[in-house]
Structures are given as structure tokens and as C-alpha cells.
């Protein structure tokens, strides 16, 4: 609509789609507890988000059971996001509410 909004941010900020790339550079460290604000769709500011590493979890992948590293993101105004990575830090799956993103290398 041609409107411009300028806001001073209070600290670290990311967008929802940038998290898909950034999460792959995070350490597998139980002490990880990041605080940031999130720009949802690059237009709506969602303050007070947290990202934590929850450890390894087992998932059934077809006939195989796989161990994946699990990160959890939660904050104001959004359903939690769950990020699952393999041992090489490659993002395999992202789940939030009724959405699931499955990254398939085929």
C-alpha cells in the first residue's frame, strides 16, 4: 500500500525464513539459549523469542529409526517451531503447528 514503517529494534532480530539457514550453524550444545525478536513474513515483529537445543531424539523415517538433533524455538504470537538436523548439521525437517517442511535430497 506504499506505507513505510520504521522501528528501532531492541536487540538481535531474525526473520522466520532466515532461521532455516541459521539453525544449521548452531552448535549442538545443551547450554544454547538464544534470545531474539522475530520478523514473521518480514512484516510482523514478534518479540521475545527463544531458541534452545534439546538434544538428540529418535524418529521413525520409513522403515528406519534415525537419531536427529532437536532445536526448539518459541515466543510471543507464534506456535513453537521444531528444527531437526542430522549429525552433519544439515536441516532435515521443520515442524510448526499444522506445517511440516521435509527437506529431501533426492
pLDDT of residue 105: 58
pLDDT at residue 87, rounded to an integer: 95
31 pLDDT more than 80: yes
Is pLDDT above 60 for 106? no
Cα 55–Cα 49–Cα 10 angle in degrees, nearest 5:
135
**Mean per-residue pLDDT over the chain, rounded:** 90
* Interval 59-69 mean pLDDT: 88
- Cα atoms found within 13 Å of the Cα of residue 55, Cβ hemisphere only: 2
Residue 101 has pLDDT above 60, yes or no: yes
Mean pLDDT on 23-34? 96
Q: What is the pLDDT of residue 85?
A: 96
Place of cell 545443551: 30
Amino acid at each position: 500500500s506504499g506505507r513505510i514503517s520504521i522501528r528501532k529494534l531492541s536487540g538481535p532480530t531474525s526473520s522466520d525464513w532466515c532461521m532455516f539457514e541459521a539453525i544449521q550453524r548452531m552448535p549442538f550444545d545443551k547450554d544454547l539459549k538464544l534470545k531474539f525478536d522475530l520478523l514473521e513474513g518480514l512484516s510482523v515483529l514478534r518479540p521475545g523469542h527463544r531458541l534452545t537445543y534439546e538434544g538428540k531424539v529418535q524418529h521413525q523415517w520409513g522403515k528406519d529409526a534415525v537419531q536427529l538433533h532437536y532445536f526448539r524455538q518459541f515466543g510471543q504470537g507464534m506456535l513453537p517451531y521444531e528444527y531437526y538436523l542430522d549429525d552433519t548439521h544439515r536441516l532435515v525437517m521443520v515442524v510448526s503447528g499444522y506445517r511440516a517442511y521435509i527437506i529431501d535430497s533426492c
